[in-house]
Every structure is written in structure tokens, then in C-alpha cells.
């Protein structure tokens, strides 16, 4: 693409139309730009448009955004349309253009520059840092803080990698280069700006806030650069100039700036951001460079302590409060903890810092009422580690590291005082009780798994009965909702320590709270029930059974479904997760099953209209799956009931192209196919025809679910699939899947099910085509995943149809190829097999090969025979912890669950894993017994082969196996 008036006109119109509210011109413009982006010099031309002063600011800003995104997508690609000459021109132009741009364009170009820098700097862009330093010095001489801050911001983006990348020689070289060239100029501009701030602070009259704003922004950027350059290690330059940095740092913590702080919320926020950055830097020094920093510690501890006393409870000052408390927490766990040893310090911390920051604020109450999702995310899900409430408790935990008895004594007394205050005036002092509960919960420590232990502040059982139970028994589920939420949270966290008979007494109360108007309260009630049902006692036995929830089951399900009708809880993921868990435990009768499937089906119809909450939707489908599976296994007549309810809804998903739900739909259909008794109803064979269409397989996220459905058909309708050209199409799907590294494993799942489900006479005409497809892929690529899949397939084929059929059909495709497969792939890769059934299958198949196959028993194959024995011993003698065991519990679905390009497995619609060798109990015993019988038939022959070809360590392991099963190889 050339830079000329026509190009300028074309691009200007395109960028203008991308801002159009009308969809049609916007889409046309985006399409034109996307097509043009493949042209060489496109990025350079767009950058020149950004630099064109005659072009409208909006168009230039849109172009700057496009330029940044263009670089993000293409700069680092090996086959990028951005060629080296264009790259060099962009690097030449971008720095001066960024420095002269307006703030909005400057920020976009700064990000673009950082994208280039992350890939090219410093080796492929040695001129960048000298250019930035020279520009910084020129801007400093001119007091041009717009340019200064642009340069510092750019450097901050580039140096950010020193915080995120792990140690390496290349990183050290890059860091040294940056320190050598930038550390001194950074200190110079930091000190100059500090002197300008000092002058402004004492000037009369004080300068306008706008003048100070740029200076404080500059210092904040300097603090961020300081953190990046000091992150990996303490550089010599910064150690030599530590006093200069620390003197200014302390000044910002102890000095007020009325003209800026009093200019409005933004002014105070800017000063607080600088102070917070200082606290981050001194916390970092305290953690990593304690010895060098200790001379400044007392002054900073006093400064931070004093600062915290002056920080209001306003939410706008939370960041400063949190970073300041974090610094004191770091000090409390260090060797300099004696700062807290003086009389009265710990009580002062508790009363002056902890309690004020733990008490509920109006902002907390507003968040509770107006944004329950965010409140729960912070409070229940642990993302509140950077909130005042949680970090204040972390400070207490830190001090308790060395002064545990003193902390416990003071906090216990404080808790009793808060509870007494509540008892004296419950209506007026309910926040005191909330504060007491929060202290007990937040100071608990998490053990392995999900249980919590109280730090001896209170007796959990006693505290539960005296403090929590009155809230649970309150008949008014809507009164003091934050207090109710705190009580439910306590019950949830200490559920393992509350005895079963006590917890069961209050299960009906939890069910009542599902009807609370507060979204947080009924969400916490649902979460508490769900977590209770997960509790396991010794031996992994579930504490609560179907018998425990049976008396309340109808009311529980009614209240759970009713909670989903409350305002803003239509897609409440905590309620839906609870439904899933309850259905997994309960004894589901026919009448309840009918009600539940209609309730779930109705919800399914609604979410199909506009899928919004992927976590809710996942647990909705899990609920359907577990209901269908458990109820149908108990009463097979329910399958038709479920089909009647679900088929219309699943048809809507498929016909309306609700692609987000396609994988779930296919998994549910697979479950329904498996629950039917052959012959399966004709409607399923109509679905099977759709399944065979190549279009169904184009979306990657559908493939695992489609394979799951195809496996179900192969198992339940083998006769139907054997007719016509259906099997040809199934094997065509296998062939297509194994050609891609991302789906090759899925292709073998299909093939394995064909081998398992269909008679040998049916598959025999296709065997040569199957081997040819596999050999073709082995010639192209040999990733370990493909080789493991191959070994499992061969093993399954061998145990089902014998070693002769395996060897003969292979060699029919290509003479003597079996020998090559054995030596190049089977023997070297057998040790990589994992999974209980897979290990058993491959070990038994390998054993049968060496003990039954004439090819391997031929003396000419003795070396291969010995190497195979060595591989089998390696496989069978691995430690138990090296093996992958099957999942037992339904896993939690992380917040990142989404739909776009991912497949999410329904745990409760999973394929039942069947052992093809149920008659063989122990593969190790089978191996040793088979080998012993073989050796007995030819005394001395095989022991010699073993001594010559089996690794000495494996010979010892083989001897141990023989001793275990009292067998001999002599």
C-alpha cells in the first residue's frame, strides 16, 4: 500500500465509518480495513495518517487504535505482512510522533511502542532507549511534562517484563542494559520533579492544581519504574542512591499537598496513588532487601502508621489503606518484628487499625444491596484479599506469627466486647456482631482441602451455638440481611467442625433462607447446603446421605427453584450449583423427577433465548444430566418422560443455532442413547444421520461431544450402524479427526469404540484402510499423544481379536511393517501410558504378544522380545503416584468457563469407563504368571534373553514381582 492522496482519502473514510452507529457502514469499513491490513506497508500508512495534522482528531484516534491492534496481531508473526523495511521505518517514526501527539493518541501510540518493544527491545531495537533518554533530557530542560510523562509511561510499559519474566541470562543482560542507560536519568528526573513539588508546596499563593497534577503523575510513573528495575535484584546504582530515593519516598507519606488534595476527588486520588506506589516499593524492599533497607525502617514504619491514622474510611482511599497495611504486615513477619513488641502497640493496632477497617461501611452495605455478585466475589470467594476488611485481618495474622498469645488475648477480648455491645442493643449495634463474626472467620486458616481452623480465638462449636444459631433460627429471614449472610458464611467455612447431628438440626433453617429477599442471603444459604453435602469423614465417606436430606427434599427443591424466580437471581449460579449437588445425593422418586425435569426444562428454554452466565448454564446442564442419569438408572421407564421433556428444548438449541449449547446438547443426547435399551427408538437414528454430516464437525468445540455421542451410538446400535454405508462414514470421521493434532486423540476414541462394539467380520473389510490412515499420519508427524493413542488401539485390537489378526492385517498393508512399528513405536513408548485401564490394557496386550505370538517367540526376534519385557517391567513397576487416577467427584467450574472455542465436559453425562479385561484382576500378576509359564516350557532360554536385554534395574524389579506372586522364571 502506497502513501498518496487516494490512500489518505480511503483510510480516512474507513476510520470515520468505523465510528458510525449504523451497523452496515461500520461493518463495510471494518471489512475493508481487515482486507487492507494484509497489504505490505499498511501499518506504516496508518501511522502516517495518525501523524497528519489536517485529518480530524476522531479519525486519527481511530487510526491509532487500529495501528496498535494491527501491531499486536502481526508484529511478532514469522509470516507477517509487516516486512522488515516497514518495521524499521515504523520504529524510526513512532517515538517523535508519540511525543508530539495529543494525550488520547499518545496513549495508543505508547501501547503500540510497548508491543514492538516487548518483541524487539533491546536487541532488534538498540536505538530506542538512547532515543528515549535523549528525548527525556530535552523535555526535562523544557519542563515539558506532557512529553516527560509520555516517555516515562512508554519506558514503564517496556520495563514491565522485569516483573513478569523468570530468571534467565537473556533477562539479566536486558536488565543490565536498561539499568546502565536509564537508572541515572530516572533518578535525575525524579529528583528534579521532587524539587518542583517541594517549591510548589511552599509557594504563596500555591500554584494551580493542574500544574501539580502532571508532576505527581510523573512521580507515580517513576515509582513504577523503580519497582520494575528493582524487582529481580537490588541493582548497585539503586543501592548507592538509596538515601535519595527513600528521602523523597518518606516525604510523600508525611507531607500534605492542600492545593492538589483539596481540588476535588481526582486530586486526592492522584496523591494517594503516589503514596500507594511508595508503599509498594518499600514493601518490596522490606521483603527482598531487608538488610539494606533496615536503616530506613523505623522512619517508614512511623510514617505509615501515622498516615493510616489519617486515612478516612472512604472507598476512594482503599488502595492507599491496603498498601499501607500490607507494608506493616510485611514488617510484622520479618526479623524486625520487635517494632510491635512495645507495650500498647498491639492493642493500638487492633483498636486503631484493625477494628475500624473491619467494621462495615456504608459502601459495603450499598454493594451488598446493589451489586450482590461483586459482594459475593469479594466476601465469599476470597477475592477480597486486597480489601480493607481482609488486609486488616492479614495484619493481625502477621503480628500473631511472633506474638500469637498477645494477639489471641486482645482479639478474643475485642470479640467479647463487640458481642456484649450487640447484646445490649441488637437493633442499634448489629454491626458489632457482624464485626465479631468477620474477625473469627477471617483469622481462621485454611487446611488442606476445604476445611478451616479457628486460631483459638473461640471454641467453634460453642461460638456456633451461642452466636450463629440465633441468626439461623430467626423467623424473619429478611431482617438484618448482612448479619444473616455473616452467620451463613461462618456455617459454610466451619462446616467440617460442626458435628453432623448439630448441623442437621439447622438444615431446615438453611432451606428457609433460600426464600430470603436478599440475593446475598439466599445465595449463601444455597452455597452452605451445597458445601455441606461435599463434606467427607475419615476414609472419604460422605458425611451426609440421601437419608439425611430426604425429610426436607421436597421443600428444598421447591425453595431452590423459587429462589431462581427472585429479582436478579434468575441465573444465580450458587442456587443452580446447589440444585446439581442435591440431585447428586438425593433419592429421586418418580413424582419429584417429573417436577424437576419440567423445572429444569423451563429454565433451559429461557437461557436458550440469550445465554449470559456460562457458570449458571453449565450447572443447569449438569443438573439435567445427573437427574436423567440417576433417576433413569433407578426407574428405566423415566427415560421416555425425560425424552418428552428434553427433545423439544434440544431441538430448539440445534435449529436456532445456539452454538454455545451444542456441546452440552450432544453430551445429553449421548446419555439418553446409552440409557435406552436396544433397539433404540427411530428418532435417534435420525439424529445419527445428522451426526454423520461433515458440517456438524466443523466447529472444534463440538468435536469431543460429537465423539461422545458417536461412541454411544456405536455401543447401543451396532447392528444399525453395520448396515448400508454408515460404518464407512464413521471411519471417514475417524480419518478426518486423526489428520489434525488437536483432534487425533478423539479420532482414536471413535476407532477404539468401533473395535469394542462391532464384530470382527463387520470391521474386517475396513482394517487395511484403517492401518493405511494411521501409517500415513506416522509418516507426517509423531507426537507422543498420537503414539500413545496408537499403542492403546493396537492393544485393544490384540486383546479383542488376537495377535495374529493384528500382525497379519498390518503386514498386508506394507510387508514387515509390524516389526518396524514394534521396535520404533511400541517398545520405546509403552512406558508413557498412564491411566488405570489404559495401563492394564497395554500391559496385558504386550504380555500376550511376547507369550503367545509366533512372531515374537521366534528365536530371531529374541532382542525385540527382551526389549519388550524391559518396557513392560518399566510400565508395571512405576510408583503408584506416577499414575493418573480417574476423577471421582464433580469438579468445580472455574470463573473462566466460557463458550467461544472451548469444550466443557458434563461430569454427570460422562461415558462410563468400561474395562475390556474384566476377567484379569492384576496386570502385574498376569504378566509374571504368563512369563513364568513360557519360561517353564523352554527352561533357560528366556532367562538368558532377559539377562542380555533387560536393564539391570528392571531385572531387579522383575525379580521382586516374581517374589511378590511367588513365581519363578527359571
DSSP string, 730-790: HHHHHHHHHTSTTTHHHHHHHHHHHHHHS-HHHHGGGHHHHHHHHHHHHHH---HHHHHHH
Between the two ends of the chain, the Cα-to-Cα distance in Å is 80
Give tens-digit pLDDT for 919-949: 999 999 999 999 999 999 888 888 899 999 9
CA nearest neighbour of 238 among 196, 284, 299, 171? 284
Let me know: does 903 contact 862? Beta carbons within 8 Å.
no
Residue 406 dihedral angles phi and psi, to the nearest 5°: -65, -45
- Spatial contact of 791 and 756, defined as CB atoms under 8 Å apart: no
User: What distance lies between CA 872 and its chain's CA centroid?
Assistant: 37
Average pLDDT of the segment spanning 721-739: 93
pLDDT at residue 202, rounded to an integer: 82
pLDDT of residue 956: 92
Question: Does residue 585 have a pLDDT over 90?
Answer: yes
CA distance 139 to 133: 10
On the question of pLDDT at 415 being above 50, the answer is yes
Higher pLDDT, 337 or 382: 337
E strand residue ranges, 253-306: none
Q: Check whether 188 has a pLDDT greater than 90.
A: yes
Angle at 596 between CA 591 and CA 597, to 5 degrees: 105
Higher per-residue confidence, 907 vs 536: 536
Neighbours of 335 (CB within 10 A): 10
CA distances from 957 to 21, 870, 928, 952, 962 (A): 73, 10, 11, 9, 9
Look at 35-49, 74-88, 135-149, 782-796 and tell me which has the smallest mean pLDDT: 74-88
Give the predicted TM-score (pTM) of the model: 0.80
* CA 841 – CA 789 distance, rounded (Å): 12
Cα separation of 406 and 404, whole Å? 6
Grid cell for residue 672: 439418553
Phi, psi of 536 (to 5 degrees): -120, 145
Residues 936 and 898: their CA atoms lie apart, in Å, by: 60
> 720 burial class (0-12, 13-18, 19+ CB within 10 angstroms)?
middle
Give me the phi and psi of 542, to 5 degrees please.
-60, 135
Q: Tens of pLDDT along 299-335?
A: 999 999 899 888 887 888 889 999 999 999 999 988 8
Rounded to 10°, the helix 662-675/614-634 angle is 0
Q: Which of 92-101, 342-351, 872-881 has maximum average pLDDT?
A: 92-101
What is the pLDDT, as a whole number, of residue 893? Answer: 57
Distance CA 276, CA 301 (A): 14
Say which residues have a Cβ less than 8 Å from residue 917's Cβ, sequence separation at least 6.
799, 840, 841, 844
Q: Is residue 386 very low, low, confident or very high in pLDDT (cuts 50, 70, 90)?
A: confident
Q: How far apart are CA 478 and CA 704, in angstroms?
A: 46
- CB-based contacts of 941, cutoff 8 Å, min separation 6: 935
Q: Where are the beta strands (DSSP E) in 514-672?
A: 536-537, 541-542
pLDDT per position as a tens digit, 780-824: 888 898 999 999 999 999 999 999 999 999 999 999 999 999 999
Q: How far apart are CA 269 and CA 801, in angstroms?
A: 75
Integer Cα distance of 648 and 662 in angstroms? 14
Average pLDDT over residues 570-592: 93
Q: Which residue, 628, 647, 585, is CA-closest to 908?
A: 628
Alpha carbon 810 to chain centroid, angstroms: 44
The pLDDT score that the predictor gives to residue 397 is: 87
> Do the strands 536-537 and 452-453 form a parallel or antiparallel pair, or are they unpaired?
unpaired
Alpha helix stretches (DSSP H) within 257-354:
258-261, 265-288, 290-310, 318-332, 345-349
Question: C-alpha grid cell for residue 652?
Answer: 430448539
Answer left, alpha or beta for residue 568, where phi above 0 means left and psi between -120 and 50 means alpha. left
For residues 674-691, average pLDDT: 89
* Contact call for residues 605 and 661 (beta carbons, < 8 A): no
* Range 227-236 burial, b when 16+ CB lie within 10 A, else e: bbbbbbeebe
- Range scoring the smallest mean pLDDT among 406-420, 565-579, 736-750, 891-905: 891-905
pLDDT digits (tens, 9 = 90+) for 220-265: 999 999 999 999 999 999 999 999 999 999 999 999 999 899 888 8
Mean pLDDT of 731-746: 93
Which among 381, 371, 289, 383 is positioned nearest to 336, based on CA atoms? Answer: 289
Is residue 382 over pLDDT 70?
no
Grid cell of 414 as nine digits: 475485642
Residue 304 in contact with residue 327, Cβ under 8 Å?
yes
- Of the candidates 593, 720, 583, the residue with the CA atom closest to the CA atom of residue 645: 593
**Number of Cα atoms under 13 Å in the Cβ half of residue 751:** 28
Please report which confidence band the pLDDT of residue 889 belongs to, taking 50, 70 and 90 as the band edges: low
What is the Cα gyration radius of the chain? Answer: 35
Cα-Cα-Cα-Cα dihedral sign, residues 372, 377, 381, 382 = negative
Give yes or no for residue 876 having a pLDDT over 70.
Answer: yes
Q: Sign of torsion, CA 767 768 774 775?
A: positive
Between strands 445-446 and 452-453, the pairing is antiparallel
Cis preceding linkage at 205, omega within 30: yes
**pLDDT above 80 for 775:** yes
- Is residue 448 pLDDT above 50, yes or no? no
Split at pLDDT 50, 70, 90, the class of 583 is very high
Give the C-alpha separation, 150 to 156, whole Å: 10
How far is Cα 169 from Cα 190, in angstroms, rounded to an integer?
29
Distances (CA, A) of 150 to 49, 708, 836: 20, 55, 59
Report DSSP letters for 418-461, one per residue: HHHHHHH-TTT-HHHHHHHHHHHHHT-EE-STT-EE--SSS-HH
Most confident stretch, 295-299, 401-405, 460-464:
295-299
> Model confidence over 628-646: pLDDT tens digits?
999 998 889 899 999 999 9
- β partners of residue 751: none
Least confident of 128-137, 380-389, 579-588, 724-733: 380-389
Which pLDDT does position 205 carry in this prediction?
Answer: 82
Question: DSSP character for 559?
Answer: H
Q: Which three cell numbers stand for residue 591?
A: 413424582
Note whether 889 and 907 are within 8 A (CB): no
Q: 703-716 and 682-691 helices cross at what angle (nearest 10)? A: 140
Q: What is the pLDDT of residue 352?
A: 86
pLDDT (0 to 100) of residue 902: 54
Q: Determine the Cα–Cα distance for residues 120 and 967; give it in Å rounded to an integer.
A: 65
- Stated as kind and residue range, the H or E segment containing 565 is none
- 260 to each of 249, 268, 269, 322, 670, how far by Cα in Å? 18, 7, 10, 22, 66
Residue count of the chain, please give it: 970
Q: Phi and psi for 253 in degrees, rounded to 5?
A: -85, -20
Amino acid at each position: 500500500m502506497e502513501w498518496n492522496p487516494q490512500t489518505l482519502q480511503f483510510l480516512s473514510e474507513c476510520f470515520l465509518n468505523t465510528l458510525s452507529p449504523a451497523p452496515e457502514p461500520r461493518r463495510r469499513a471494518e471489512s475493508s480495513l481487515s482486507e487492507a491490513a494484509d497489504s505490505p506497508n499498511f501499518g506504516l500508512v496508518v501511522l502516517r495518517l495518525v501523524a497528519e495534522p489536517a485529518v480530524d482528531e476522531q479519525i486519527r484516534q481511530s487510526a491509532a487504535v487500529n495501528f496498535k491492534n494491527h501491531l499486536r496481531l502481526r508484529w511478532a508473526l514469522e509470516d507477517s505482512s509487516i516486512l522488515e523495511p516497514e518495521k524499521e521505518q515504523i520504529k524510526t517514526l513512532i517515538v517523535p510522533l508519540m511525543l508530539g501527539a495529543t494525550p488520547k493518541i499518545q496513549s495508543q501510540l505508547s501501547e503500540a511502542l510497548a508491543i514492538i518493544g516487548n518483541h524487539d527491545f533491546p536487541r532488534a531495537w538498540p536505538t530506542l532507549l538512547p532515543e528515549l533518554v535523549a528525548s527525556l533530557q530535552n523535555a526535562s530542560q523544557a519542563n515539558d511534562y506532557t512529553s516527560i510523562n509520555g516517555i516515562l509511561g512508554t519506558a514503564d510499559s517496556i520495563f514491565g517484563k522485569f516483573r513478569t519474566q523468570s530468571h534467565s541470562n537473556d533477562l539479566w543482560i536486558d536488565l543490565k542494559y536498561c539499568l546502565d542507560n536509564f537508572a541515572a536519568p530516572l533518578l535525575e528526573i525524579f529528583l528534579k520533579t521532587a524539587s518542583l513539588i517541594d517549591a510548589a508546596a511552599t509557594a504563596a499563593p500555591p500554584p494551580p492544581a493542574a500544574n501539580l497534577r502532571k508532576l505527581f503523575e510523573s512521580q507515580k510513573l517513576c515509582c513504577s519504574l523503580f519497582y520494575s528495575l528493582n524487582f529481580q535484584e537490588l541493582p548497585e546504582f539503586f543501592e548507592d542512591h538509596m538515601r535519595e530515593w527513600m528521602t523523597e519516598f518518606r516525604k510523600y507519606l508525611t507531607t500534605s499537598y492542600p492545593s492538589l488534595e483539596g481540588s476535588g476527588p481526582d486530586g486526592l486520588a492522584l496523591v494517594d496513588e503516589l503514596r500507594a506506589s511508595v508503599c509498594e516499593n518499600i514493601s518490596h524492599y522490606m521483603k527482598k532487601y531487608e538488610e539494606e533497607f533496615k536503616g530506613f525502617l523505623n522512619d517508614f514504619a512511623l510514617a505509615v502508621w501515622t498516615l493510616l491514622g489519617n486515612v478516612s474510611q472512604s472507598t476512594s482511599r482503599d488502595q492507599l489503606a491496603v498498601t499501607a497495611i500490607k507494608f506493616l504486615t510485611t514488617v510484622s513477619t520479618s526479623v524486625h518484628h520487635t517494632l510491635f513488641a512495645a507495650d500498647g502497640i498491639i492493642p493500638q493496632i487492633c483498636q486503631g487499625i484493625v477494628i475500624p477497617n473491619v467494621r462495615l461501611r456504608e459502601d459495603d452495605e450499598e454493594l451488598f444491596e446493589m451489586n450482590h455478585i461483586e459482594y459475593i466475589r469479594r466476601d465469599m470467594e476470597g477475592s477480597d484479599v486486597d480489601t480493607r476488611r481482609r488486609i486488616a485481618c492479614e495484619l493481625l495474622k502477621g503480628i500473631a506469627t511472633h506474638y500469637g498469645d498477645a494477639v489471641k488475648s486482645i482479639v478474643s477480648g475485642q470479640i467479647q466486647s463487640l458481642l456484649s455491645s450487640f447484646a445490649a442493643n441488637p437493633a442499634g449495634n448489629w454491626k458489632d456482631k457482624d464485626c465479631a463474626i468477620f474477625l473469627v472467620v477471617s483469622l481462621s486458616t485454611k487446611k488442606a482441602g476445604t476445611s478451616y481452623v479457628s486460631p483459638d480465638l473461640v471454641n467453634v462449636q460453642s461460638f456456633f451455638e451461642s452466636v450463629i444459631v440465633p441468626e439461623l433460627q430467626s423467623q424473619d429471614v429478611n431482617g438484618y440481611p448482612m448479619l444473616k449472610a455473616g452467620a451463613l458464611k461462618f456455617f459454610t467455612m466451619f462446616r467440617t467442625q460442626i458435628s453432623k447431628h448439630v448441623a442437621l438440626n439447622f438444615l431446615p433453617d438453611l432451606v428457609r433462607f433460600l426464600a430470603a429477599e436478599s440475593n446475598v442471603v439466599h445465595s449463601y444459604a444455597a452455597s452452605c447446603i451445597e458445601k455441606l453435602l461435599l463434606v467427607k469423614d475419615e476414609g472419604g465417606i460422605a458425611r451426609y446421605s440421601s437419608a439425611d436430606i430426604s425429610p426436607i427434599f421436597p421443600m428444598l427443591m421447591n425453595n431452590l427453584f423459587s429462589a431462581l424466580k427472585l429479582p436478579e437471581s434468575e441465573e444465580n449460579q450458587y442456587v443452580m450449583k446447589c440444585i446439581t449437588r442435591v440431585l447428586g445425593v438425593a433419592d429421586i422418586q418418580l413424582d419429584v423427577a417429573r417436577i424437576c425435569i419440567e423445572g429444569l426444562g423451563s429454565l433451559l428454554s429461557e437461557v436458550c433465548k440469550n445465554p449470559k452466565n456460562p457458570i449458571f448454564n453449565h450447572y443447569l446442564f449438569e443438573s439435567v444430566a445427573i437427574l436423567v442419569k440417576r433417576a433413569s438408572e433407578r426407574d428405566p421407564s423415566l427415560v421416555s418422560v425425560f425424552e418428552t421433556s428434553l427433545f423439544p428444548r434440544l431441538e430448539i438449541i440445534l435449529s436456532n443455532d445456539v452454538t454455545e449449547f451444542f456441546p452440552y446438547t450432544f453430551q445429553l443426547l449421548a446419555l439418553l442413547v446409552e440409557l435406552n435399551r436396544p433397539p433404540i427408538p427411530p428418532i435417534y437414528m435420525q439424529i445419527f444421520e445428522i451426526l454423520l454430516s461433515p458440517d456438524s464437525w466443523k466447529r472444534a468445540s463440538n468435536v469431543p461431544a460429537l465423539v461422545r455421542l458417536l461412541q454411544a451410538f456405536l455401543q447401543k446400535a451396532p447392528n444399525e450402524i453395520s448396515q448400508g454405508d454408515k460404518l464407512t462414514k464413521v471411519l471417514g470421521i475417524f480419518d478426518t479427526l486423526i489428520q489434525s493434532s488437536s483432534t487425533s486423540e478423539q479420532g482414536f476414541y471413535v476407532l477404539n469404540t468401533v473395535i469394542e462394539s462391532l464384530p470382527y467380520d463387520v470391521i474386517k473389510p475396513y482394517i487395511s484402510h484403517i492401518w493405511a490412515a494411521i501409517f500415513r499420519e506416522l509418516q507426517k508427524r509423531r507426537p507422543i499423544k498420537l503414539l500413545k493413542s496408537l499403542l492403546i488401539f493396537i492393544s485393544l485390537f490384540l486383546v479383542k481379536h488376537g495377535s495374529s489378526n493384528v500382525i497379519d492385517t498390518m503386514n498386508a498393508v506394507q510387508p514387515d511393517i509390524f516389526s518396524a512399528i514394534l521396535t520404533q513405536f511400541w517398545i520405546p513408548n509403552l512406558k508413557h501410558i498412564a491411566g488405570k485401564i489404559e495401563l492394564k490394557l497395554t500391559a496385558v496386550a504386550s504380555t500376550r504378544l511376547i507369550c503367545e505370538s509366533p512372531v515374537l517367540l521366534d528365536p530371531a526376534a529374541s532382542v525385540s522380545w527382551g526389549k519388550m519385557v524391559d518396557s513392560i517391567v518399566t510400565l508395571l513397576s512405576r510408583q503408584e503416584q506416577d499414575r493418573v487416577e480417574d476423577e471421582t467427584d464433580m469438579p468445580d467450574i472455574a470463573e473462566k468457563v466460557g463458550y467461544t472455542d472451548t469444550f466443557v465436559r458434563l461430569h454427570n453425562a460422562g461415558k462410563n469407563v468400561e474395562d475390556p479385561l474384566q476377567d484379569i484382576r492384576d496386570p502385574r500378576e498376569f504378566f509374571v504368571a504368563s512369563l513364568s509359564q513360557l519360561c517353564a516350557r523352554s527352561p533357560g532360554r528366556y532367562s538368558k534373553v532377559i539377562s542380555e536385554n533387560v536393564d539391570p534395574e528392571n531385572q531387579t524389579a522383575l525379580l521382586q514381582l516374581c517374589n511378590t506372586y511367588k513365581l519363578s522364571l527359571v
